[in-house]
Structure 1
Amino acid sequence: MEKKESGLRQFVRRHQKYGPVLFFIGGFIWDSLTLGRIDRLYDRTILCSYLVCLTACLYVFNLADDGKWKNTWLERYLDYLPLAIQFFLGGLSSAFVVYFSRSVSLSKTVAFFVILVFLLFANELFKHRISNKYLQFGAYFFVSFTFFAFFIPVLIRQMNTTVFMVSGVVSLAITLALIITIYVVSPSTRADIHLGKMLAIIASIYVFINLFYYFNLIPPVPLALDTGVAAYRVERDNDRYFVSYEKDEWYKFWRNNRFNYIYKPGEEVFVFSSIFAPTHLEKSVAHLWKWFSPHTRQWEEIEKIEYEITGGRDDGYRGYTYKNNMMEGDWRVEVITAEGLVLGVIDFHIHVDSTGVPRQLTRQAF
């Protein structure tokens, strides 16, 4: 007599076309609401468990067609594996969004969001959806790379290009070990994929991410710029900074200060920044002041001013620089690491006016 399927299993089978995508979104939303700091024990535990569970699910799922789990306790759960895989992929991908969203420089994270959207809808682009092993392992390598790019700097309390490269090598080694192990023990996997093609895809993703990092399209994780303001005055009182700046229109929610800065000759222009850094991570950062020359039509570097930060403060570690004798025109201040990697950009336009006054001057404590 044939065993009757449970209601949950029937539901999963009826909606198997959309289930993985919904579980990917579910994992993404859940972690976006619950994750906060990569150096918190909770965050590290959750993300580590996601990566371990994703690895285990991929191993079990890819050996299922070989009858490896027939007559075992795992057999009854095989139908749920595609959903679990997508949930853990969504959870790990959300880590990037949560920590990158701390940065005020959205232009520096657009590239990642493009990749994230691709991951989100890739199941509909591939004929076999989650059963496509090239998609499986490509997505696995991407999320493991991004995870270690955050995790290793927190563990060793250092952050530089070498550490980012090491993170990539660690994730590459783990991914290759998983692929080769499954390839060796699973006849169905050997029939489904060409090992050379799989390795080429993984290598391409590795090069792709490193090129993004090199060209500053991925911020130097796990640092992020929380706040960036072009201000008229910055005052420090004990552990608080009081920043006076002109607020922009309410509907320009993506900007802190008004783009047009009314400048009186001889006065100082301040740039204040608050940088998120994990606990005990020390790093030298700088404000790189640039002015757009109308003659050369290029950004000219005016001055670089460095200062130190030490991580751990929830609202970000703060600092400011200032300049006088400003020229009229477009200005930008890049917040950069010692290696020249960009955390974020504060841009504004200097309008020289000896009689003008700011319209909506606000004094805010940071």
Structure 2
Amino acid sequence: MAAKSILARVRSLYGRFERPVSSLSLVGGFVFEALTLRRVDLFWDNFWVAVHLAIVAVCAVWINLLPDSSNGNTASPETDPHRLHFWLVNVMQFFFGGLLSVYLIFYFRSGSIGTSWPFLLILAAAFIANESLKRHYARLSFQIALLFFAIYLFAIYVVPMLLHRIGTSIFLISGAVSVAAIGAVLVVLARFSPQRLTGRNRTGVFGVIAGVLIVVNGLYFLNVIPPLPLSLKDAGIYHSLVVNGPGYYTVTSEQQAPGLLGPFGFLKRYLGLRQTLHIRPGDSLTVYTAVFSPTDMRTKIVHEWQYYDRAKGEWITRGRILLSVVGGSDGGYRTFSVEPAITAGPWRVDIETLGGQVIGRLKFNVVVQSAEPPLRTDTIGAQPRRPKARSAGGPESASPLPAAAEGNWMSASAGAGRVEAHAMRAGHVTRKDNSAFFINLGHDPA
């Protein structure tokens, strides 16, 4: 009797303070996940997402097996804490909020607000509105729409990790997997409660599935969805970059703008704030990026250099540099490209997938002046270990590590406003004239 009394009191208290408790738990969960979610390819992080999806699916089916949950024919059982329906709706709402928070974190880390803001806005709005949508959770079509959307967003980045590839064909496979998964849920529901999938319910369910498919595919082909599982971990615009070894660089930048990921780098990258760079006539600029890719995934990215032609009122592409990325490093795979023909005015460099999805965007204004600006020197990456060399008949000694000792390299030269790149073997790159410059295809940092 005492246990039943305590349980009844808990139900009553939760019913009275449901809204603040639910809101607090949702915000707390978001903060916790933002601090603890590390990499999109970690097993336990994805296992946790899969558990959330399974719980939402079980609740959706269970709610529709209850005799009092048919299209609101009873007096709002989802508002009565003494009814099972109430607790299933709350559990489903809570775990769907958890899914939205995970997706918002992962996709926000992967994209650029300048190009992905419509998709990120949809996720943020759904996350914020989750608390006010509780009365809709009683509708089967609403439950299926949420579940299918959550499955789809999960498949978009999990399927590429399983297949070690990204691209349009992989995205379409992700869609097929999502349709199969939601189809399995509907088969289970039809098996145990066939009356829920008849008439207007059936039309509504298939309508929302088609709607989610159209919206997600439309956003993808508009290059609005961030390119998970890739993400930009670090980036910077520099006056010069010297390769000291695999993934170990010396860079020079203006003292007032020490690279994109300084104290305000987060705002510069995600809010599209511009840097102002001062160069002398004929100077070049270097863009450095570190792009995260899951373990065992090899892909290619593009650095697209563009300047704004004020006379034409449009962005003009100066060069597209193809770079390789190898997955597995926490800090991202390091690459860089150089533009030797810099002119005054607005510039931007898009870091893209081959399909055109923007991983990140660097925006800057160039001012040409006769005096050299004050520069600072920094290093990127850890200094590589030097191999030991044994002299004839003597003890082992350390020998310098050549700059091109390992890794893939490209030699590129600019001509007529475009950049052409040619792959070359490591250690065989030679500088023939002043028009040539080098592009590091990247090294897995130590």
Bin for the TM-score computed over the shorter chain: 0.7 to 0.9
Q: Is the 8 A contact 1:126 1:132 kept in 2?
A: no
Matches within 5 A, 1:129-278: 129-183=136-190, 185-186=192-193, 189-190=196-197, 194-238=201-245, 239-246=247-254, 247-248=256-257, 253-255=266-268, 259-278=275-294
Give 3-state SS (helix, strand or coil) of 2:39's partner: coil
Matches within 5 A, 1:54-93: 54-65=56-67, 79-93=86-100
Q: 1:196, 1:142 → 2: CA distance?
A: 18
Tell me the alpha carbon deviations over residues 183-204 of structure 1, each in whole angstroms, 9 at most, x when there is no partner: 5633673589522122112211
Paired amino acid for 1:243: V
Q: 1:364, 1:44 → 2: CA distance?
A: 34
1:292 corresponds in structure 2 to 308
2:413 corresponds in structure 1 to none
Give 3-state SS (helix, strand or coil) of 1:64's partner: coil
Shift of 1:105: 2.3
Q: Is the 8 A contact 1:23 1:83 kept in 2?
A: no
Match of 1:340 among 350, 353, 356: 356
Q: What are the ranges of 5 or more consecutive residues in structure 1 without an aligned counterpart?
A: 68-74
Matches within 5 A, 1:347-366: 347-358=363-374, 361=376, 363-366=378-381
Q: Is the 8 A contact 2:119 2:219 kept in 1?
A: no
Q: Is the 8 A contact 1:23 1:84 kept in 2?
A: no
Matches within 5 A, 1:30-41: 30-41=32-43
Shift of 1:353: 0.7
Matches within 5 A, 1:120-135: 120-123=127-130, 126=133, 128-135=135-142
Tell me the alpha carbon deviations over residues 77-103 of structure 1, each in whole angstroms, 9 at most, x when there is no partner: 654322321232122222323323334
Larger radius of gyration: 2
2:124 corresponds in structure 1 to 117
Change (3 A) 1:338 1:172: same
Q: 1:154, 1:204 → 2: CA distance?
A: 26
Q: Is the 8 A contact 1:133 1:193 kept in 2?
A: no
Change (3 A) 1:306 1:130: same
Paired amino acid for 2:44: Y
Tell me the alpha carbon deviations over residues 323-353 of structure 1, each in whole angstroms, 9 at most, x when there is no partner: 1121211111111122222211111111111
Q: What are the ranges of 5 or more consecutive residues in structure 2 without an aligned counterpart?
A: 70-81, 382-446
Give 3-state SS (helix, strand or coil) of 1:177's partner: helix
Q: 1:334, 1:112 → 2: CA distance?
A: 18
Q: TM-score, normalised by structure 1?
A: 0.87
Q: 2:140, 2:11 → 1: CA distance?
A: 24
Matches within 5 A, 1:297-316: 297-316=313-332
Give 3-state SS (helix, strand or coil) of 1:101's partner: helix
Give 3-state SS (helix, strand or coil) of 2:228's partner: coil
1:13 corresponds in structure 2 to 15
Q: Is the 8 A contact 1:24 1:89 kept in 2?
A: no
Change (3 A) 1:187 1:23: farther
Paired amino acid for 2:373: V
Give 3-state SS (helix, strand or coil) of 2:288's partner: strand
Q: TM-score, normalised by structure 2?
A: 0.72
Q: Is the 8 A contact 1:23 1:90 kept in 2?
A: no
Tell me the alpha carbon deviations over residues 195-248 of structure 1, each in whole angstroms, 9 at most, x when there is no partner: 212211221111111111111211221111122211112222223233322344
Give 3-state SS (helix, strand or coil) of 1:57's partner: helix
1:279 corresponds in structure 2 to 295
Q: 1:41, 1:133 → 2: CA distance?
A: 31
Q: Is the 8 A contact 2:145 2:208 kept in 1?
A: yes
Q: Relative contact order, CA 8 A, sep 6+: which one is greater?
A: 1
Q: 2:146, 2:251 → 1: CA distance?
A: 43
Tell me the alpha carbon deviations over residues 167-196 of structure 1, each in whole angstroms, 9 at most, x when there is no partner: 122112212332354256336735895221
Q: Is the 8 A contact 1:222 1:278 kept in 2?
A: yes
Paired amino acid for 2:253: Y
Q: 1:143, 1:32 → 2: CA distance?
A: 18
1:105 paired with 2:112, answer yes
Q: Is the 8 A contact 1:334 1:342 kept in 2?
A: yes
User: How high is the sequence identity, in percent, across the aligned residues?
Assistant: 28
Q: 1:17, 1:30 → 2: CA distance?
A: 20
Regions of 4+ moved over 6 Å:
none
Q: Which stretch of structure 1 is more off in the superposition, 87-96 or 216-225? A: 87-96
Q: Which stretch of structure 1 is more off in the superposition, 100-109 or 311-320? A: 100-109
Match of 2:338 among 322, 333, 354: 322
Q: 2:114, 2:274 → 1: CA distance?
A: 18
Q: Is the 8 A contact 1:20 1:82 kept in 2?
A: no
Tell me the alpha carbon deviations over residues 135-190 of structure 1, each in whole angstroms, 9 at most, x when there is no partner: 22212111111111111111111111111121122112212332354256336735
Q: Which stretch of structure 1 is more off in the superposition, 175-184 or 272-281? A: 175-184
Change (3 A) 1:251 1:156: closer
Q: Is the 8 A contact 1:244 1:361 kept in 2?
A: yes
